[in-house]
Amino acid sequence: MGIINFAPKILDPIPGGKYVVNAIDYVVNWARANSIWPLTYGTSCCAIEMMSSSMARYDIARFGSEVFRSSPRQADLFILAGTITRRMAPAIQMLWEQIPGPKYVIAMGACTISGGPFIYDNYSVVRGAQNLIPVDVFVPGCPPRPEALFHGLLTLRDKILKETCRNPWHEGEPRDVSTMDRYREAANTWAALERMKDEEMAEARAKFKEENPDYKSSFKPVRIKKEEFPEVERIPCKRFGLTQAELFNKLRAKFPNVTVHTHSEDPIEDVVAQMPADRPLEVMVTPEDYLPIVEFVKNDAEFKMDYLIEVTAIDYDDHFDMVTQLRSMDHGHKIFLCLQLKKDFSIEEDKRATSILATAPSISHLYPAAEFKEREVYDMFGIGFDGHPDLRRIFLDKDFVGFPLRKDFTHPEMIRRPV
């Protein structure tokens, strides 16, 4: 509460006092409207456009708003630049509460207005900043251009000029994060409106046809000749190091159990021989062989797979495929180790969604890079890792229920994409 809000209480009862209040309003609003200091806050793409808007080409300073404050205590304007996730939501509410009044909020970009491209099949994005904090101006776009942000700023300026200290700037409280019902309601309203429009159009068309039975459109579609494009053959990217066949044969000599991931029914040797040059060799390994193979390919002089590209997994009905992608810096060849992990179906069916269904040996002692990657796999798939030093969730909150990248994952806030 600024001291200015006491002015009407004191002055309005005095005869003629309301003119003084009006004058105060005018001056204060003028000052507030023309000196809007934004908070340095940005999560994703929109933040870059927000930065661009303060740079030399667009120069938000022309409107007096170049004083980006890092501390929320000194800011007036909260530009919500970038997607808001459920994990970030409490931080945003706290930031908003820390901004001293009068405070204004611009929701920049489609994500902060409605969830934008992240509406469907999403478990982590908050569908609209207005569900968290009161928003003054919405700036659409994905991301909006800096000019659009300026338009938002000037719109906010107009809004501030209409304020009065008799009725202070907002009486809102931060809202609950649960947004599903509000969203569904809005979607239903929208659909009803669309239906209404269709019906109206059909009525209007029928009416027009009744009135002008002989009407014939003079519009003739112009046909543009479609450009002929050639069919082009794909030239595989270049490859260095050992070929897939050499790699596979050498690996097989050491570990006879390995096979190649393939969907064709040809013999494995043929499949490996026919692989295009830029197709990485994807080897199926058994859980017992996994750690020895990784150690072997890392230390063997001919393989020398010293670089871990990625550890990721794929969820199938009864098993996970955990893919460890390795590369040799010196030789340039790649090898993908596909570890098939059978799901542990001894767990009761209603507990499966929230429990670890398979366990793999951790390779983080061989590749430090694997530590975070394995945490990601654990977080997304619920695959445990033996011997991992710090197995925690990495992207989601520790109290998040379920493992999102499993095919049977459900979340109360998730909306299925309409087909």
Partner 1 sequence: MSQLPPGFRITRETNTEEFFINMGPQHPSTHGALRLALRMEGETIIELVPHFGYIHRGIEKQAESMSYLQYIALSDRQDYLTAIQNNLGVVIALEKGMNIGVPEKQEYIRVMLQELGRIASHLVFFGCFGGDLGGQTCLLFGFKEREMIHDILEEVTGSRLTTNYFRPGGSRFDVPDTFIPRVKAFVDHLEGAMSDYERFLSKNIIVLDRSVGIGILSKEDAIAYGCSGPVLRASGVNFDVRRANPYSIYDQMDFEVPVAYNGDCYDRYKVRIAEIHESMKILRQCIDKFPKEGAWRAKEKPVRLPVGRYYSEIETAKGLYATYVVAATTGEKPYRIHTRGPSFPHIAALNKMVQGHKISDLVTILATLDPVIPEIDR
Partner 2 sequence: MFVPSITNPVGDFVRELVPQLAAFLPASLQSDTLNSIVAFLVNALICVIAVCIVNIGSAPILIYMERKVCAHVQCRLGPMRLGWHGTIQTIADVLKMLFKEVYAPSGADKLMFYLAPLIVLIAPFIVCALIPFGRNLVVADVSMGIPLIIAVNGFGVLGILLGGWSSNNKYSLLGALRSGAQMISYEISFAMILLFVVMISGSTNLMSITLGQEGTIFDWWIFKVPVLGIIAFILFFISSTAEMNRAPFDIAEAEQELTGGYHTEYNGTPFAMFYLAEYIALVTNSSLAVTCFLGGFYAPCIGISFIDQYLNMVPGVIWFFAKVFFMIWCYMMVRWTFVRPRVDQLMDFEWKFLLPVNLVLLVAGAAFIAISG
Q: Binding to partner 1 (CB under 8 A): which residues in 388-407?
A: 389-390, 392-397, 404-405, 407
The reply on whether position 282 binds partner 1 by CB under 8 A is yes
Which amino acid belongs to residue 393?
R
The reply on whether position 125 binds partner 1 by CB under 8 A is yes
Q: How far is the CB of 54 from partner 2 (least distance, A)?
A: 9
**d(C-alpha 22, C-alpha 314), whole Å:** 66
The reply on whether position 319 binds partner 1 by CB under 8 A is no
Strands 319-327 and 334-342 come out as antiparallel
Specify the stretch interacting with partner 1 by CB under 8 A; choose among 25-33, 178-186, 285-293, 385-393.
385-393
H/E element, 370 = helix 370-381
Instruction: Return the residue of 76, 289, 371, 374 that touches partner 2, per CB under 8 A.
Output: 76
The reply on whether position 179 binds partner 1 by CB under 8 A is no
How many chain residues bind partner 2 (CB under 8 A)? 29
Q: Nearest Cα to 336, choosing from 274, 287, 283? A: 283
Of 96-155, which residues contact partner 2 (CB under 8 A)?
A: 100-102
Q: How far is the CB of 392 from partner 2 (least distance, A)?
A: 24
Q: Check if the beta carbon of residue 108 is closer than 8 Å to that of residue 119.
A: no
Residue 215 binding target from partner 1, partner 2, none, CB below 5 to 8 Å by type: none
Of 296-315, which residues contact partner 1 (CB under 8 A)?
A: 306-310, 312, 314-315
DSSP code for 13:
T
Residue 118 binding target from partner 1, partner 2, none, CB below 5 to 8 Å by type: partner 1
Angle between helices 17-34 and 146-161 (to 10 degrees): 170
**d(C-alpha 397, C-alpha 392), whole Å:** 10
H/E element, 183 = helix 180-211
Signed CA dihedral, 297, 298, 304, 309: sign only: positive
The reply on whether position 49 binds partner 1 by CB under 8 A is yes
- C-alpha distances (whole Å) from 194 to each of 136, 197, 199, 416 are 27, 5, 9, 20
Specify the stretch interacting with partner 2 by CB under 8 A; choose among 1-9, 130-138, 196-204, 226-234.
1-9
Specify the stretch interacting with partner 1 by CB under 8 A; choose among 27-35, 139-147, 158-166, 180-188.
139-147
Q: Check if the beta carbon of residue 13 is closer than 8 Å to that of residue 107.
A: no
Q: How far is the CB of 29 from partner 1 (least distance, A)?
A: 28
Please tell me the chain's helix, strand, coil percentages from 3-state DSSP, rounded to the nearest 5. Answer: 40, 15, 45
Instruction: Return the residue of 8, 38, 82, 382 that touches partner 1, per CB under 8 A.
Output: 82
Specify the stretch interacting with partner 2 by CB under 8 A; choose among 67-75, 223-231, 236-244, 410-418.
67-75
The reply on whether position 27 binds partner 2 by CB under 8 A is yes
Instruction: Convert 236-294 into a string of H (helix), E (strand) and C (coil).
Output: CCCCCCCCHHHHHHHHHHHCCCCEECCCCCCCHHHHHHHCCCCCCEEEEECHHHHHHHH
Q: Which residue has the tokens 């980006």?
A: 68
Instruction: Return the residue of 238, 265, 267, 399 that touches partner 1, per CB under 8 A.
Output: 238
The reply on whether position 263 binds partner 2 by CB under 8 A is no
- Residue 152 neighbours by CB distance under 10 Å: 22
Q: By C-beta, is 163 or 413 nearer to partner 1?
A: 413
Specify the stretch interacting with partner 1 by CB under 8 A; choose among 6-14, 18-26, 112-120, 163-171.
112-120
Q: Is 222 helix (H, G, I), strand (E, B) or coil?
A: coil
Of 219-248, which residues contact partner 2 (CB under 8 A)?
A: none
Q: By C-beta, is 72 or 144 nearer to partner 2?
A: 72
Rg (CA), the chain: 31
Q: Which residue has the tokens 């340039």?
A: 332
Q: How far is the CB of 88 from partner 2 (least distance, A)?
A: 18
Residue 147 binding target from partner 2, partner 1, none, CB below 5 to 8 Å by type: none
Specify the stretch interacting with partner 2 by CB under 8 A; choose among 57-65, 133-141, 196-204, 391-399.
57-65
**d(C-alpha 217, C-alpha 366), whole Å:** 74
Specify the stretch interacting with partner 2 by CB under 8 A; choose among 71-79, 199-207, 290-298, 410-418.
71-79
Residue ranges that bind partner 2, judged by CB under 8 A: 1-4, 27-28, 30-32, 34-35, 55-56, 59, 61-64, 66-67, 69-71, 73-74, 76, 100-102
